[in-house]
Amino acid sequence: MAESEASHRHSFEKEMLRIESRDSLLGIFFATILCAGTIIAGVTIAINVPSLAGTIVGGLVGTSGLVSVFGVMIRTTRTSWQIQNKKPPSSSADSETAIGENEENSQLK
């Protein structure tokens, strides 16, 4: 029973890793397309509108994709780091209290 449970858990974890890897790769792919598209759009606007307004709008459009991708990347990295390093809250005071309560309960019995 325990072996089949461990086998199931391992296959489930393997499947989750495969899915997370696929999602990560798709995210990188679409982020690259977004960045390339906004840079191309910005350059096109700057070339087709030769005034100062065209340069400013082209620059804003060109950098908007980069800024959004970097913002999402930083926020996601921070969130996943917190999830991976999440530890159950246990302080020495809590463990001492629990030990004291266990000793009292055993003395009452």
Are residues 69 and 34 in contact, defined by beta-carbon separation less than 8 angstroms?
yes
Residue 109 is predicted with a pLDDT of 47
Residue 81 vs residues 17, 18, 55, 73, 101: alpha-carbon distances, Å: 16, 19, 39, 12, 35
The per-residue pLDDT for 71 is 83
Name the strand (E) or helix (H) holding 7. Answer: helix 2-48
Q: 54, exposed or middle or buried, with CB in 10 Å at 0-12, 13-18, 19+?
A: middle
Whether 85 has a pLDDT exceeding 80, the answer reads: no
- Indicate whether 105 pLDDT > 80: no
Give the pLDDT confidence of 9-47 residue by residue, as tens digits.
888 888 888 888 888 888 888 888 988 898 898 888 888
pLDDT tens digits along 52-80:
888 898 889 888 888 888 888 888 777 76
More confident call, 6 vs 106 = 6
pTM of the model: 0.58
